[in-house]
């Protein structure tokens, strides 16, 4: 039975999962979430009432959360690129950086974007400022980490880089990474050149007009 991936190409968390599929050339049946009334969206709501995506269906298993989808692929559909190291200590380091990107880069980035699409009069300027400060702190911490490194954890491209790629991509559109954070900027460029992520970025290009803050004319 084919793997069914419920996703939208413009979604950062979906791109995180797509990178893992593309790294190991794992085939899947696309279930595109094209609108609230689409069949795929209705099925997503049945299987996962939070209606967050991506979601993977593999036989009788439903897997939510991009990180867990990537772990699932590594366990049940392994390929030559091991995104979670076999060594438990190295795997823990990868998972720690994966949490960093979800919680301290993606979460504040989404806060700023979702605030922009709230109706007039319901915006949260204080929360947005806090989110921007969190992004600044994350950039500064990551910049120290990335000095002299190619990938964020260990010597190889990993689960943590799968999240870093789309999250830094959109974070820079949302709250630009200052020139002073040269290591973060170089890392973002390296991620953009990774063929798996470059493919996800290309597939999402037609949707750029949807970016609420206005997509910059680059990348
Ligand atoms: N914790 C989830 C987050 C997924 C998520 O927030 N996805 C966004 C798209 S990037 C979404 O589902 N947005 C729809 C919504 O918030 O209703 C994961 O790691 O997969």
Give per-residue pLDDT as tens, 86-145.
Answer: 999 999 999 999 999 999 999 999 999 999 999 999 999 999 999 999 999 999 999 999
Q: Is 48 in the pocket of ligand 1 (CB under 6 A)?
A: no
Kind plus residue range of the DSSP H or E element containing 57: strand 55-58
Scan for tokens 């190889």, then name that residue.
Answer: 156
- In this prediction, residue 175 carries a pLDDT of 98
Which residues in the chain show pLDDT less than 70?
A: none
Domain locations in the chain as residue ranges: 4-76, 88-207
Q: Which fold has domain 88-207?
A: Glutathione S-transferase Yfyf (Class Pi); Chain A, domain 2 (1.20.1050)
Mapped onto helix, strand or coil, the DSSP state of residue 32 is strand
| Alpha helices (H) in the chain, listed in sequence order | 12-23, 39-47, 66-76, 88-100, 107-116, 125-146, 159-174, 182-193, 195-204
Q: How far is the CA of 212 from the centre of ligand 1 (A)?
A: 16
Q: Is 109 in the pocket of ligand 1 (CB under 6 A)?
A: no
Kind plus residue range of the DSSP H or E element containing 7: strand 4-7
Query: Can the peptide bond before residue 152 be classed as cis, meaning omega within 30 degrees of 0?
Result: no
Does domain 4-76 bear CATH number 3.40.30.10?
yes
pTM as predicted: 0.98
Length of the chain: 219
For residue 32, what are the β-bridge partners?
A: 7
């Amino acid at each position: 039975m084919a793997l069914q991936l419920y996703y939208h190409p413009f979604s950062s968390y979906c791109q995180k999962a797509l990178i893992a599929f593309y790294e190991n050339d794992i085939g899947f049946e696309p279930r595109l979430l094209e609108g609230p009334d689409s069949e795929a969206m209705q099925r997503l709501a049945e299987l996962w009432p939070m209606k967050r995506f991506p979601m993977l269906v593999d036989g009788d298993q439903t897997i939510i959360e991009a990180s867990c989808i990537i772990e699932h692929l590594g366990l049940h559909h392994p390929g030559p690129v091991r995104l979670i190291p076999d060594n438990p200590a190295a795997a823990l380091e990868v998972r720690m950086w994966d949490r960093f990107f979800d919680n301290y880069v993606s979460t504040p980035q989404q806060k700023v974007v979702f605030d922009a699409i709230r109706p007039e009069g319901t915006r949260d300027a204080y929360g947005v400022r806090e989110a921007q400060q969190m992004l600044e702190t994350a950039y500064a911490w990551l910049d120290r980490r990335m000095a002299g490194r190619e990938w964020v954890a260990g010597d190889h491209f990993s689960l943590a880089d799968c999240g870093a790629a789309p999250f830094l991509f959109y974070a820079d559109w949302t709250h630009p990474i200052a020139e002073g954070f040269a290591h973060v900027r170089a890392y973002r460029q390296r991620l953009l050149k990774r063929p798996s992520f470059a493919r996800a970025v290309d597939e999402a290009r037609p949707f750029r007009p949807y970016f609420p803050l206005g997509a910059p004319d680059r990348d």
